[in-house]
Amino acid sequence: MQNPENKLKTALRAGQSQYGLWLAGASPVVAELAGGVGFDWCLIDGEHGPNTVAQMLPQLQALAAAGTAAVVRVAAPEVWMVKQALDLGVQTVLVPMVDDAAKAAEMARAMRYPPDGIRGMGAVLARASRYGAIADYPHTANAQVCLMVQAESAVAVENIDSIATTPGVDGIFVGPADLSADMGYPGQPDHPEVEAAIDHMIARTLAAGKIAGIITFDRARFADYSRKGVTFLGLGGDMVVLRSALEDLLQSARP
């Protein structure tokens, strides 16, 4: 058995737009549904969603059955959290709260086996190697992993060039909510100063030859971000979509 190609990484490196959905509900049924709809990727949120490692597994299995690329956002920029996500068989990992090149470099090393990194050699026991069926997994995994680091603070804006040019970082994902709060405009990701910071980070990421990503819950912004060069684009989240649909359903029945 061969280690599968990270088709999401391949598509993004080729400049192809890839549209995804945030999964925060810890539901394999919703993951299966979203995968069947045809999203290019779905992200299982371990930072703000109630997703433990054990709860991520059935969602990953549901996405695999649907043929949808799986991404996991770990809870914090910690080496052991990255290792757990990778051992689950996740090839693309989003790491939040990366403020400088030193942290970005640490996360890049966490993604890779020695001599290129510090990832622990335990995949023979894990889903990543199909429980040992992919015999050469430790030798082929490094080429298939994709690291997206989340820049979401004023410090990250200042350090964007050094973060984006860090070896082993495949892309920068802008976090509009935390960025706006850190800049003094909580709940205002559309504030002109925040938007200017977002545009700056996207531009500097692209200038470094890296993948630019962001999430927005505003459908009017989809085309705008695509024009600016964002190819890893989150189109909202499962809980928001579900709530909106349920509210619409209820309101359509009330006089």
Structure-token pair, residue 84:
């757990």
Active site residue 48: yes
Structure-token pair, residue 52:
């433990």
Catalytic residue among 48, 139, 191, 200: 48
End-to-end CA distance of the chain: 59
Mapped onto helix, strand or coil, the DSSP state of residue 124 is helix
Which of 111, 137, 140 has its CA nearest to residue 125? Answer: 137
Cβ-based neighbours of 44, under 8 Å, separated by 6 or more = 23, 31, 51, 56, 59, 60, 70, 71, 72, 73
Q: CA 219, CA 11: separation in Å to the nearest integer?
A: 23
By annotation, the residues acting in catalysis are: 48
